[in-house]
């Protein structure tokens, strides 16, 4: 028998936008990595903030759990329903309006269902830069990146989504709408409530629209690929660059040999090692200049020259064209896909202070190799933010099942080293359902208690994304 | 008879650090502007986080209200006791240790009692910039600027204190210590708890230490003073500058004629109008360059030339030396003191979107002049952040008492225009006890309700700064 909330929802948003047929709901009910196959009571697709509010109120009345979903590109199972078939997915995918773009104020307001790519394009059309940039940007939505405080490749210069967010419109668990869509750069009238909803993974409110900062667009980007003596040289090169070109360093990505080897083993046409002599550690970086009249290229070349003279950089190439820059970045962006093609892998998304990156790589690598002989370490990521995607592939010839059986033990080693270095076990992917055990193990109990107190204060009935982020028994 | 908590506190921190003699407590019990004369049960000056925690626990046991205090430079009565003599002031002024400076990681950790000036000096000694800069920096403390989310003169480029804060150590109302002193740039392990304590004016926790971002120091600063056609030309000039020098615009301050006239009427030796022909509106701006090898000066001069050709800038001077730059800035920084010397004034600290600054000035000015003939408008401030200190002096010859009698009516006009333009009635000074009526009038009731729910969740006994920020009947 049909749950009575279904016709209620249909009357609120129109029957076409309440999906219950598993063929129609499938793309909403299982996460992108297919780690969490789920089932939904219904998938509801409201078309306006008012409809979202009514859907939330109706579900609150029936005490039905709501899972908000954007582009369903999350990596931790935070935005898909569990397999009980009792949760309703609230998809924001119809809310794609651009409400306002103000180039003079350097801000824009978009509805939650706009993709990050669309947001970039809206800004560019107004002669501005929306700097959030991540692999999933064609599908990931504005509401999703706010709810997860997404990072990506330009955090070093422009910050995380939190730093880019000026204001929010949020539907609360009782269906009321918090109007905080301000574009103000300064507003000290009480607690900054939007901070509660940024990065809380849909557990406190449903973001229906956001106002973002915009920036002057880059006029010139210098892209370079350098072979390094060791990871310490990566931190050293970043410091040298900052010394000479200031905050123009926009992206600074470390790439370990195993990562590049996997990319080259699964290369698409045109991909090749940019340098003649293979080495263990490389960086790819962008220095971008927003001034139309200043050129940082000679300064970047001078820095590379100095670092080579000091023996920290072994070889380097500066992209001579936009196409060559694109080819260098394609190598970096192909790493996750190459790793997928390469077989089973165990993944981590850790961060430490930038200055401790070399110590992390040294210590974690030694600990893993001692305990799991032959394990292959695929290390790459946003070293300028202290954030590494520090993944492992099976030793040559080990069956996948044997490797998988070691997953928890591998996590334990990597997260243990991370914790000893005061790092984070989830730098940018969040907690969702995937990382709750690690959260419980490594977060200060008092912090967990405060999080639970806030959850109860804002969502006392626990109907917004229950059991995600905060472990179920903490509510 | 002595309250039993006094000897308890003395045993925790030492009798020398528990002040009860009014002569000794006076500097802690009345705010800097002397708007809120107060009295304290005691002033306690703990020397460590552990001592703060013990003091808080002891006061919690006795249900005694605690008012945390840094440099006592706040403008809204948020950090001094009321006149009941029942509140304890917890001064952080003995906690001045520098815990860690890491130039490679661009971060530093300081205890709450360090002054902002000391923080700048610690950063500079490590070859880095701590960009927070405000008039009271010699007295204002790290804990104070975090608790109030202080802004200042370089927000345009570097953000408010919130944007500069990576991690916090906070004593909670029950005396437990939240350890969140991370230097991580990315950490998505649950709600970002530090955001709760930044800008909450001591109502949720007592900040005992903070970790801040550091930046590459400026190598060259171009300072210019320009006479403008009108306020619209200020916004236009900012856009022109951003177009050509990108995010190098570090400060961009509007100065109205009345503000400069008052400065010149109360000038210290050496102060003079930088330009030959007086005009109604001026800007003072800094373009700072962190690269050691690039020089933005020619670009700034070209922008000024273009704006003059367009008739937006009437005249301009670029400082030829650091001394001249200092003299230009002295004019701007002397405005509040000159206004004080000039007699009674009614003050506002508003913000609107940068693009709406001209509309605000036009509309608020017309409304004030219509209702209060002859009123003098002292308008200056951080126009690059949309933040104006929009103050009023009495009409020529009006007795101070008559002018003071109009204060609430003047606030109503100015805050009314601000609200109609979706602005903030407190851009950077906070709420404290001074602006609660305006907060109640202009904040969405749902936002106030959420703030109260959070306050109850974190400080259920309401002993941390009760009656500040949140109006007493909201708790």
Q: What CATH number should be reported for the domain holding residue A404?
A: 3.30.70.2740
Looking at the structure, tell me whether residues B39 and B87 fall in a common domain.
yes
Q: Does residue B383 fall inside a structural domain? A: yes
Q: How many domains does chain B have?
A: 5
Taking only the tens place, the pLDDT of each residue in B165-196 is 999 999 999 999 999 999 999 999 999 999 99
Q: What is the pLDDT of residue A48?
A: 98
By DSSP bridging, strand A88-91 and strand A66-69 are parallel
B281-289 vs B387-393, strand pairing mode: unpaired
The confidence score (pLDDT) of residue A1 equals 73
Helix (H, G, I), strand (E, B) or coil at B135: coil
Among A186, A192, A458, beta carbon nearest to B155: A186
Residue-level pLDDT at A369: 97
Residues A236 and A181 in one domain: no
A188 and A208, same domain (yes or no)? yes
A-chain residues within 8 Å CB-CB of B423? 184
Calculate the average pLDDT of chain A: 95
pLDDT, tens only, A378-405: 999 999 999 999 999 999 999 999 999 9
Domain for residue A189, yes or no? yes
Considering only CB atoms, A247 lies closest to which of B215, B243, B293, namely: B215
**CB-based contact B188 A242, cutoff 8 Å:** no
Mean pLDDT along residues B315-321: 96
**Residue after which a domain boundary falls, among A335, A365, A387:** A335
Residue B261 lies in a domain: yes
Within 8 A of B162 by CB-CB distance, chain A residues are 192
Q: Tell me, yes or no, whether A209 and A236 share the same domain.
A: no
Nearest CA in chain A to B101: A355
Judge if B449 and B385 occupy the same domain. no
pLDDT of A109 over the 90 cut: yes
Shortest CA distance from A151: residue in chain B = B186
Output the six-digit token pair for A252: 């600074």
- Cβ count within 10 A of residue B422: 14
- Given pLDDT bands bounded at 50, 70 and 90, which one contains residue B293? confident
Chain A residues closer than 8 Å to B159 by CB: 163
Mean pLDDT, to the nearest integer, of A238-256?
A: 92
Instruction: Give the model's confidence band at A430: pLDDT under 50 very low, under 70 low, under 90 confident, else very high.
Output: very high
Contact A149 B192 (CB under 8 A): yes
Is residue B327 one of the residues assigned to a domain? Answer: no
| Same domain (yes/no): A358, A290 | no
CA nearest to A128 within chain B? B243
A180/chain B closest Cα distance in angstroms: 8
Determine the residue among B127, B182, B188, B381 to mutate to test chain A binding: the one whose Cβ has the most chain A Cβ atoms within 10 Å: B188
Looking at the predicted structure, is the pLDDT value of residue B475 above 70? no
Given B190, B213, B236, the domain boundary residue is: B213
Percentage of chain B lying above the pLDDT 70 cut:
100
pLDDT over threshold 80, residue B1 = no
Domain contains A468: no
Q: Do B291 and A245 touch (CB under 8 A)?
A: yes
What torsion do the CA atoms of B470, B472, B474, B475 make, to the nearest 10 degrees?
90
Q: What pLDDT score was predicted for residue A10?
A: 98
B196: domain CATH number? 3.30.465.10
Chain B residue whose CA is closest to A150: B188
The answer on B304 and B268 residing in a single domain is yes
Same domain for B102 and B209, yes or no, is yes
The answer to the question of residue B325 being in a domain is no
Q: Of A199, A354, A425, which has the smallest distance from its Cβ to B105's Cβ? A: A354
Do A291 and B422 make contact, defined as CB atoms within 8 angstroms? no
Are both B453 and B415 inside the same structural domain?
no
In this predicted structure, the answer to whether residue B160 has a pLDDT above a threshold of 80 is: yes
Task: Provide the domain limits for residue B72.
Answer: 5-91
Residue B181 lies in a domain: yes
Which CATH number characterizes residue B258's domain? 3.30.70.2190
Contact B189 A385 (CB under 8 A): no
> What integer is the mean pLDDT of B86-95?
98
Mean of pLDDT values over B402-424: 96
| DSSP string across A118-133 | HHHHHHHHTT-B---B
CB–CB contact A424 B291 (8 Å) = no
> Which uninterrupted H or E stretch holds B261?
helix B257-265
Q: Where are the beta strands (DSSP E) in B329-408?
A: 345-346, 349-351, 376-382, 387-393
Q: Is residue A144 part of a domain?
A: yes
User: Residue B457: which of A298, A354, A454 has the nearest Cβ?
Assistant: A454
Q: A188, B427: Cβ pair inside 8 Å?
A: yes
Between the alpha carbon of residue A371 and those of residues A364, A365, A407, A414, the distances in Å are: 11, 10, 12, 12
Is the pLDDT score of A241 beyond 80? yes
Q: Does A187 have pLDDT greater than 70?
A: yes
pLDDT, position A475: 65
The residue-averaged pLDDT of B290-303 equals 90
Looking at the partner chain, which of A189, A443, A446 has a beta carbon nearest the beta carbon of B425? A189
Name which of A184, A355, A454 is nearest B351 (Cβ-Cβ): A184
Core vs surface per residue B199-234: b (16+ CB within 10 A) or e: bbbbbbbbbbbbbbbbbbbbbebbbbbbbbbebbbb
* Planar angle of CA B329, B334, B336, nearest 5 degrees: 130
Minimum distance, in Å, between the CA of residue B283 and any CA atom of chain A: 17
What CA–CA distances, in Å, run from A475 to A452, A459, B146, B181, B285? 6, 10, 29, 25, 51
pLDDT at A293 (0 to 100): 81
What average pLDDT does the segment A220-238 reach? 97
Q: Which of A160, A187, A213 is the last residue of a domain?
A: A213
In this prediction the ipTM stands at: 0.96
Q: How far apart are the CA of A466 and the nearest CA of chain B, in angstroms?
A: 14
A200 and A242 co-located in one domain:
no
State both tokens at A238. Answer: 């970043």
How many Cβ contacts (< 8 angstroms) between chains A and B? 280
Given pLDDT bands bounded at 50, 70 and 90, which one contains residue A265? very high
> In percent, how much of chain B has pLDDT > 90?
90
Same domain, yes or no: B168 and B245: no
Distance from CA of B246 to the nearest CA of A (A): 5
pLDDT at A474 over 80: no
Mean pLDDT across B328-349: 91
CB-based contact B425:B67 (threshold 8 Å): no
The answer to whether residues A274 and A376 belong to one domain is no
Q: Is the pLDDT of residue B299 over 90?
A: yes
């Amino acid at each position: 028998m049909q749950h009575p909330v279904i016709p209620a929802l249909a009357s609120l948003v129109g029957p076409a936008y309440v999906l219950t047929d598993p063929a129609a709901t499938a793309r909403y009910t299982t996460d992108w990595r297919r780690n969490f196959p789920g089932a939904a009571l219904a998938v509801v697709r409201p078309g306006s903030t008012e409809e979202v509010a009514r859907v939330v109120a109706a579900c609150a009345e029936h005490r039905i759990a709501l899972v908000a979903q954007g582009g369903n590109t999350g990596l931790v199972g935070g935005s898909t329903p569990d397999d009980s078939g009792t949760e309703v997915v609230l998809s924001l995918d119809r809310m794609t309006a651009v409400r306002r773009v103000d180039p003079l104020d350097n801000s824009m307001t978009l509805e939650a269902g706009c993709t990050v790519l669309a947001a970039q394009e809206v800004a560019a059309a107004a002669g501005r830069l929306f700097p959030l940039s991540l692999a999933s940007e064609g599908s990931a939505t504005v509401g999703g990146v706010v709810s997860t405080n997404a990072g990506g490749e330009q955090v070093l210069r422009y910050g995380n989504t939190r730093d880019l967010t000026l204001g929010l419109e949020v539907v609360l668990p009782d269906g009321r709408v918090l109007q905080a869509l301000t574009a103000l750069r300064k507003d000290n009238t009480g607690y900054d409530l939007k901070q509660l909803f940024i990065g809380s993974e849909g557990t406190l409110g449903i973001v229906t629209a956001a106002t973002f900062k915009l920036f002057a667009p880059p006029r010139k980007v210098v892209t370079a690929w350098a072979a390094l003596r060791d990871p310490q040289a990566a931190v050293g090169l970043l410091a040298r660059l900052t010394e000479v070109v200031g905050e123009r360093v926009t992206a600074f990505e470390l790439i370990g040999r195993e990562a590049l080897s996997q990319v080259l083993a699964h290369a698409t046409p045109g991909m090749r090692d940019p340098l003649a002599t293979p080495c263990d550690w490389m960086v790819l970086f962008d220095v971008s200049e927003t001034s139309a009249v200043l050129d940082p290229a000679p300064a970047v070349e001078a820095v590379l020259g100095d670092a080579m003279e000091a023996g920290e950089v072994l070889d380097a190439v500066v992209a001579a064209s936009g196409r060559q820059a694109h080819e260098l970045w394609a190598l970096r962006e192909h790493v996750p896909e190459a790793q997928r093609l390469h077989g089973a892998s165990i993944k981590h998304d850790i961060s430490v202070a930038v200055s401790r990156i070399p110590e992390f790589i040294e210590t974690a690598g030694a600990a893993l190799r001692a305990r799991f002989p032959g394990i292959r370490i695929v290390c790459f990521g946003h070293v300028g933010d202290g954030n590494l995607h520090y993944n492992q592939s099976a030793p040559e010839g080990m069956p996948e099942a044997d490797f998988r059986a070691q997953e928890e033990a591998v996590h334990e080693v990597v997260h243990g080293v991370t914790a000893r270095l005061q790092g984070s076990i989830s730098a940018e992917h969040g907690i969702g359902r995937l990382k709750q055990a690690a959260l419980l193990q490594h977060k200060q109990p008092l912090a967990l208690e405060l999080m639970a107190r806030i959850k109860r204060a804002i969502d006392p009935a626990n109907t917004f994304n229950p059991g995600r982020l905060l472990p179920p028994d903490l509510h």
